[in-house]
């Protein structure tokens, strides 16, 4: 109940206004939203591409962080980034238990991810991507990321 | 001319002494409204002002601070959240403004 009221509010506000490069794809189920994001400046890594994000909300959102991953589709690749695994799992402090704050919202997460991509110049995956993607069975929220890189 | 008032009805409205359009950063409901769980605004669902001057519905900030991951920090500025000692004239207390009498 806590979550759905807040999500309905966010949705209403986002229908009225969204920052450039961010679009709502589907929110039919208030527990799971799909959003599309684009990088707006001419970063060659991300030009002419659109990325799809899946948000999953628990009942305790926004006290608890949502689970946010990139999802692949025919024309929606997983963006290259040293903190984004090829299965779409994102290593970003604000999505982690330690970095989350309940004043964040769907829009602010999308903006943060846009800027995380904007600032990147490396066409790389995180170290150990192959093994992680092959063997990881944990949900993103249960993974303990080690944040070793404060530059991104 | 002499007027004798036989009966009068007073109508009063109250609001928290906060900026008009501000909402609680956690539930995004207006301060004058309630947290997402309460039905009646006011004393039953009061505001709490932090020493950092960020305020929230008391129920909202408590449910955040109860989480271990909050590390008892303010969601806005990440400083340790301590509620500000309040006197009755300070912010976040209930101001009763009589707006209309008839």
Nearest CB partner across the interface for A63, out of B63, B71, B76: B63
Distance from CA of B100 to the nearest CA of A (A): 32
Q: Is residue A149 part of a domain?
A: no
Q: Give A13-17's long-range contacts (Cβ < 8 A, gap of 24+).
A: A13/A107, A14/A106, A14/A107
Put simply, the answer to whether B64 touches A63 (Cβ < 8 Å) is: yes
| pLDDT tens-digit series, residues A3-25 | 899 999 999 999 999 999 999 99
Average pLDDT, chain A: 92
Cα distances (Å, whole numbers) of residue B72 to A103, B38, B64: 14, 23, 8
Its sign, for the CA torsion B50, B56, B58, B64, is: negative
pLDDT at residue number A30: 85
- Give me the catalytic one of A35, A91, A92, A109: A91
Average pLDDT over residues B74-85: 92
Q: Which residues of B touch A144 (CB under 8 A)?
A: none
Q: Is residue A71 part of a domain?
A: yes
Average pLDDT over residues A69-80: 96
pLDDT at residue number B29: 93
Distance from CA of A43 to the nearest CA of B (A): 31
Q: Given a cut of 60, is residue A90 above it in pLDDT?
A: yes
Q: Is residue A68 part of a domain?
A: yes
User: Which residue of A lies nearest to B25 if distances are taken between CA atoms?
Assistant: A103
Put simply, the answer to whether B75 touches A98 (Cβ < 8 Å) is: no
Is the CB of residue A100 less than 8 Å away from at least one CB of chain B? yes
Question: Is residue B57 very low, low, confident or very high in pLDDT (cuts 50, 70, 90)?
Answer: very high
Domain residue limits at A23: 2-133
**Active site (annotated) includes residue A91:** yes
Is the CB of residue A99 less than 8 Å away from at least one CB of chain B? no
Mutation for B interface: A63, A108, A142, most B CBs within 10 A: A63
Cα distances (Å, whole numbers) of residue B98 to B19, B34, B74, B91: 18, 22, 34, 18
Q: A48: helix, coil or strand?
A: coil
CATH code of the domain in which A119 resides: 3.10.110.10
Average pLDDT, chain B: 84
| pLDDT tens-digit series, residues A13-70 | 999 999 999 999 999 888 999 999 999 999 999 999 999 999 999 999 999 999 999 9
Cα–Cα distance for residue pair B32/B16, rounded to 1 Å: 6
Q: Exposure pattern of A81-115 as b/e (b: 16+ CB <10 Å)? A: bbbbbbbbbbbbebbbbeebbbbbbbbebbbbbbe
The secondary element (H helix, E strand) that includes residue A4 is helix A2-16
ipTM score assigned to the predicted complex: 0.81
Cα–Cα distance for residue pair A130/A25, rounded to 1 Å: 30
Q: Which residues of A touch B37 (CB under 8 A)?
A: 1-2
Q: Given a cut of 70, is residue B88 above it in pLDDT?
A: no
Q: Is residue A46 part of a domain?
A: yes
pLDDT at residue number B98: 43
> Domain tally for chain A?
1
Q: Is residue A145 part of a domain?
A: no
Q: Is residue A141 part of a domain?
A: no
Q: A129: helix, coil or strand?
A: helix
Q: A114: helix, coil or strand?
A: helix
- Delineate the domains of chain B, giving CATH numbers in brackets: 23-102 (3.30.40.10)
Q: Is residue A74 part of a domain?
A: yes
Q: Is residue A13 part of a domain?
A: yes
């Amino acid at each position: 109940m806590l979550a759905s009221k807040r999500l309905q509010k966010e949705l209403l506000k986002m229908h009225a206004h969204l920052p450039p490069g961010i679009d709502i794809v589907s929110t039919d189920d208030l527990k799971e939203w799909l959003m599309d994001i684009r990088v707006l400046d001419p970063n060659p890594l991300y030009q002419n591409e659109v990325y799809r994000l899946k948000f999953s909300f628990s009942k305790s959102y926004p006290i608890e962080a949502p689970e946010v991953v990139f999802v692949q589709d025919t024309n929606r690749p997983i963006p290259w980034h040293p903190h984004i695994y090829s299965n779409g799992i994102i290593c970003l402090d604000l999505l982690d238990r330690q970095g989350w704050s309940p004043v964040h919202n769907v829009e602010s997460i999308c903006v943060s991810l846009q800027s995380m991509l904007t600032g990147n110049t490396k066409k790389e995956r995180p170290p150990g991507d192959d093994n992680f993607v092959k063997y990881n069975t944990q949900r993103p929220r249960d993974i303990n990321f080690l944040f070793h890189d404060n530059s991104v | 001319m002499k007027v004798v008032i036989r009966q009068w009805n007073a109508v009063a409205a109250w609001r928290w002494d906060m900026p008009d359009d501000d909402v609680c950063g956690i539930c995004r409901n207006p301060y004058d409204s309630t947290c997402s769980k309460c039905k009646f605004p006011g004393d039953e669902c009061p505001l709490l002002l932090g020493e950092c001057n960020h305020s929230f519905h008391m129920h909202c900030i408590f449910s955040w601070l109860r989480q271990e991951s909050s590390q008892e920090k303010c969601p806005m500025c990440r400083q340790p959240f301590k509620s500000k000692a309040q006197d009755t004239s300070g912010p976040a207390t209930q101001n009763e403004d009589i707006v209309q009498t008839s």
